[in-house]
Amino acid sequence: MFTRIERGSALPADGNVLDFEGSQISFRSGDSVAAALLAAGVSHLRESPVDESARAPYCMMGVCFECLVEIDGRQNQQSCLTRASPGMIIKRQHGARTLG
């Protein structure tokens, strides 16, 4: 759905890879987690707590909370505000988070 504007530059092969639901996702330094996932063709990041429908990042600036994911075991993280880093383990956020 999304393509990068800078087509020319190749992805650096220096281990810029994160894990999303078991798949290896390459990204560029400076990408947010949401941008990395969208660029890799992943748009189903979570399911709504209200009607369980699939959701994708919407505002990309920290306002809408549509891009919530679990990052390294921490639930409800705003992927558009989190810089991607190598080795991150990302999972979909299924509904509302749990406590404890």
Partner 1 sequence: MEAYDLIVVGGGLVGAALAWGAQTAGANVVLLDEGDQAHRAARGNFGLVWLQGKGVGTPPYMQWSLHAGRVWPAFAARLSNAVSFDIGWRQPGGLQFCFSEAELDKRRDVIARTRADGGDIDISILDRADLRALLPGIGDEVVGASFSPLDGHVNPLHLLRALQQGFQDAGGRYRPGFRVEHIVTERDGFKAVSRTGSVAGTRIALAAGLGAAKLASEVGLSMPVKPERGQIVVTERIKPFLPYATNCIRQSVEGTVLLGSSHEDRGFDDGTDVPTAAALCRTAARVFPALSEATVVRSWGSLRVMTPDGRPIYEESARFPGAFAVTCHSGVTLASVHALEIGPSLAKGRLPEHLSSFTSGRFDVHQD
Binding interface with partner 1 (CB under 8 A)? 49-50, 65, 76, 95-100
Q: Among residues 4 and 97, whose Cβ is nearest to partner 1?
A: 97
Nearest distance, CB of residue 77 and partner 1, angstroms? 9
Q: Among residues 42 and 46, whose Cβ is nearest to partner 1?
A: 46
Answer yes or no: are the C-beta atoms of 44 and 34 closer than 8 Å: no
Answer yes or no: are the C-beta atoms of 79 and 90 closer than 8 Å: yes
Q: Dig out the tokens for 12 from the structure.
A: 């650096």
The residues facing 83 across adjacent strands are: 32
Q: Among residues 56 and 81, whose Cβ is nearest to partner 1?
A: 81
